[in-house]
Amino acid sequence: MAVRNSFTGIKATTFRNNQDDIDIMIRTADVKLTKKSDLKDIYVYTISGQPIKLDTIASIKEVEGIKSIQHQDLKRRMTVTSQLKDDFNASIVTNKFKEAVEDYELPPGINVAYGGEIGDLQDSFTEMFRNMIVAVILVYMILAVQFNSLSQPAIILFTVPMAIIGVMPGLLLTGNEFGFVAFIGIVSLVGIAVNDAIVLVDYINYLRRNGYELYDAVKETGISRFIPVMATTITTAGGILPLSMKEKFFQPLGVALICGLLTATVLTLVIIPTMYTTLEERKIRKEDKRRKRLEMSLGGNNNV
């Protein structure tokens, strides 16, 4: 500790300058420690305060040693770092390293772990996936209250996987990678992509409440809501487009939102009415069977 304090210093007090805390360090002057032989003149103090020269109690030798011993989870760790070329990123280098050490037999007690940017990215993906699940649950609960139904919100939320279908090809065509920023776009699509389906399902329900048959209501909704749905999607994509073109960092986010939204809109206009019709037909058939059983039971009681 005496040798270390001679070089790095020991904290004596802290000086506060406005909002900044500045540590006051006491150490040996640089002019007194210019070469290796100066170490022997360092004084070590006993408990009683008596100074003793270092060379009287220790010998000074120059040997190779470990600068620092790193530990993680109570195990020794060795970290390998490097600077990446412009054409590479952490994902590419990590994948190449995994391929290189795939068949390499490690000594007992040694394992390879990936940290840094890759480790943070994996943790971020896990957290974002949880957030997406929570977002889906919240959207479902809100829609269930709004439509007073448990099945129709499920139909509406089916637009989320339809939106994800367009994200990957969009990123591939634009030369972007699926990373944390793109994942934020997917989570955002949970709340954005469902808007078109909400418009369609809500208007079908409105027409049916006003006397339209199921097929007529679906057909009329497809005709009358086509332009509003497309206009909403185009204006939303147009608002995101400048961000995608100007800011390279946010480009994966913009591409994920635009491609996912466009794909979801096109598929929504076809698949959502089809799913709605199939589900409602099943409900109607069940209701007809229930009504017939009730009529038969009432008819039997009247005959008796």
Q: Please give the pLDDT value at position 89.
A: 67
Domains observed in the chain: 2-56 (3.30.2090.10), 116-303 (1.20.1640.10)
Helices (DSSP H) in the chain: which residue ranges? Answer: 2-8, 90-100, 116-147, 152-157, 159-173, 180-192, 194-209, 214-224, 226-246, 251-303
Instruction: Tell me the pLDDT tens digit for each residue of 140-199.
Output: 999 899 888 888 888 998 888 888 888 888 888 888 877 778 888 888 888 888 888 898
Instruction: Tell me the pLDDT tens digit for each residue of 234-256.
Output: 888 888 888 778 777 788 888 88
Q: Can you tell me the mean pLDDT for 10-32? A: 81
Tokens 């418009």 correspond to: 199
Written as six digits, the tokens of 288 are 């007809």
Instruction: Tell me the pLDDT tens digit for each residue of 187-236.
Output: 888 888 888 889 899 999 999 888 888 889 999 998 988 998 888 888 88
192: Cβ–Cβ under 8 A, 6 or more apart, which residues? 236, 257, 261
pLDDT above 70 for 117: no
3-class DSSP assignment, residue 208: helix
Contacts from 134-140 at CB under 8 Å and sequence distance 24+? Answer: 135/187, 135/190, 135/191, 136/160, 136/190, 139/190, 139/191, 139/194
Tokens 């699940």 correspond to: 133
Q: Please give the pLDDT value at position 31.
A: 59
Q: Please give the pLDDT value at position 141.
A: 92
CA distance 278 to 138: 25
Q: Please give the pLDDT value at position 30.
A: 63
Q: Please give the pLDDT value at position 182.
A: 83
Instruction: Tell me the pLDDT tens digit for each residue of 22-68.
Output: 888 887 766 577 787 788 878 888 888 888 888 888 888 888 877 77
Instruction: Tell me the pLDDT tens digit for each residue of 55-111.
Output: 888 888 888 877 778 887 788 877 777 777 776 666 777 778 888 888 888 888 777
Strand pairing report for 43-45 and 51-53: antiparallel
Q: Please give the pLDDT value at position 119.
A: 66
CA distance 204 to 36: 87
pTM above the 0.95 mark?
no
Tokens 């509406």 correspond to: 156
Q: What angle do CA 190, 195, 200 make, to 5 degrees?
A: 135
Largest CA distance in the chain: 121
